[in-house]
Structure 1
Amino acid sequence: MADREHVQELSLFLLDYATSLLGAGVHTSRAVRNISRIAEAYGYRADISLSQKNIMMSISSQEDATVRRTTVRKLKPLHFNFVHIQDLSALTWRAWDDRVPLGVLVEEYHRMMAKARYPMWLVMLCASAANASFCRLFGGDWTAMGVVFVATFAGFFIRQMLAKRHLNHLAIFVIAAFVASMIASMATCHHWGGTPEVALASSVLFLVPGVQLINAVMDLLDGHILNGVQRGIQAGMLIICIALGLTLTMLIVGIQWMS
């Protein structure tokens, strides 16, 4: 009975762990490897099936195959967080190397997840500065960089506010791209600086789903074809939404690209 209670506790913890790890932005192979390492540390085998929406996990004892538990959970969309990825990966080695009791591992997990996130205003400022730097890399002048900074700040703010209201994520990308590019288009309309077209093109780069694209490629290379294709299609849809928002701005303002 104790074993059956233990496998249930471990299964529930691994589901929470997997949801947090995948939501933080890891590729499939890393998630499977980390989950399996924890399960093996406590004498169990983990068989995992992952998709973009759900995780199915079967935990069985290495000593007694009748002690097992199969569970399915819907994955929640979370924010990418590389600090969480680092902490959660380190947690697996706490289980493997130190063989800490499961209760201790669960407490450490909850303590990690309860860490305060960076203030939203700081994230917005850093994202705006990074996008302005992209503008500079693509040949934009200081005026264009300033315009991109303001446009990114506004677009990022709109994106966060709409996400809190649980609007469809595709619509969020269209609206955020439209707002950012509309602000940046003022540089073209009023001839601010010498590179207004660079400001317009750079204003939506903060929305490009780089993590999804990288994970899609890594999943394909690791043999997780279905997940790789799913992530690639999702990233492609987001890129199309960004293009739609930018195109809408150009149609309204009357900008002819490269004219």
Structure 2
Amino acid sequence: MTRIDDASATSAVPVASAGCVCGGEIHSLKEICLFISEYSAWLLGCGATCIRLERNVMRMAEALGCGVVMTILPRHIHLSVCLPDKSDSYTYITATRTLPISFDINTRLSELSWALADGKINFEEAKVQFDSIIRTPPADKNLVLLLASLANASFCRLFTGDWAAVAVVFLSTLAGYYLKQVLCEHKVDLRLVFILCAFVSSVLGASDALFNLGTTPEIAVGTSVLYLVPGIPFLNSFSDMLAGHYICSFCRFIHAVILTCCLSIGLCGGLLMMNLGMF
């Protein structure tokens, strides 16, 4: 990075053989490319769609006075940054981050791109903010556990379940989601996590029928595993398909289908163990 003393150099403009000027400072194409690549890997990893990633990256590249071309793949991002006159370029390939879906990080990274584009922060400040964002601690586990259980119990009530079924679903979700948190902390394969959690929740959900606690035991069993449905991967897959990112769309769809199949295996196993009919 080189400092430009000219006070007029407040916007991003290309500088031949040196890089781009942003906020009165010269930044090399390599420096910009590495930053945007890391940004892209984190944004895609925390659950963003491909179209959002493209728009955010284009917005930042324009603010930095560079051209950018990127190829988004399910496991990697291929990014090339160049001067507007194509006289110099830098290319980097990075692996996407494997992260839990985080709307907080997703939103804050998008806000970062707008802050840079609107001139509220310079490139150095953007890097500092990015480092702060990716170190954001996850939401409180106990709060997430409680809210997920309440949400799933609400689905049971929404599907005409009685209050006994609602209570059973709340407890079965509480146990299943807690197991999911523990297994994920120990880096257990996500497919096995879905099978085990669906099995535990369905067994507990079947207690409504086993002990004749209410009048809607089938609703309790059916909604006890809804918290495992991979809705965001399905939605992202559809969004990527509409945006023309067919490879990412197909891979996200297959990933969601596999998780749904694992959910079904666990559910069927629980029903068989409790000797309940599946149809």
Aligned to 1:203: 224
Distance, in Å, in 2 between the alignment partners of 1:45 and 1:156 is 45
Deviation of 1:111 (Å): 2.2
* Alpha-carbon distance in 2 for matches of 1:225, 1:254: 42
- Root-mean-square deviation (CA, aligned residues, Å) is 1.6
Letter in 2 for 1:62: P
CA distance in 2, matches of 1:96, 1:195: 54
Give the equivalent residue in structure 2 for 1:125: 146
Between Structure 1 and Structure 2, the one with more helix by share is 1
Q: Does 1:10 align with 2:26?
A: no
Give 3-state SS (helix, strand or coil) of 1:200's partner: helix
Q: 1:98 offset after TM fit, Å?
A: 1.0
Distance 2:173 2:152 in 1: 7
- What fraction of aligned residue pairs are identical, expressed as a percent? 32
Select the residue among 76, 84, 96 that pairs with 1:54.
76
User: Which amino acid is the alignment partner of residue 34 of structure 1?
Assistant: N
Q: What TM-score does the superposition give when structure 2 sets the normalisation length?
A: 0.88
Residue of structure 1 in register with 2:238 after alignment: 217
Which structure 2 residues correspond to residues 2-81 of structure 1 after superposition, within 5 A? 2-3=18-19, 6-63=28-85, 65-81=86-102
Pick aligned residue for 1:107 from 122, 125, 128: 128
Give ranges in structure 2 of 5+ residues lacking alignment.
Answer: 1-16, 21-26
Please identify the structure whose Cα radius of gyration is greater: 2
Query: What displacement does 1:194 show?
Result: 1.2
* DSSP 3-state at the match of 2:70: strand
Give yes or no for the alignment of 1:251 onto 2:275.
Answer: no
Q: Deviations over 1:229-255 (max 9, x none)?
A: 111111111111100000001111110
Aligned residues: 257
Q: By how many angstroms is 1:114 displaced?
A: 2.8
In the alignment, is the contact (CA less than 8 A) between 2:44 and 2:97 conserved in 1? Answer: no
Please state how far the C-alpha of 1:99 moved relative to its aligned partner: 6.1
| TM-fit CA distance, 1:145 | 0.9
Q: Which of residues 126, 147, 161 is equivalent to 2:168? A: 147
State how far apart, in whole Å, the 2-side matches of 1:79 and 1:187 are. Answer: 32
Deviations 1:2-38 (A, max 9, x none): 4296212211211221122112211111111111111
Structure 2 contact 191–262 (Cα < 8 Å) conserved: yes
1:232 to 253, 256, 260: 253
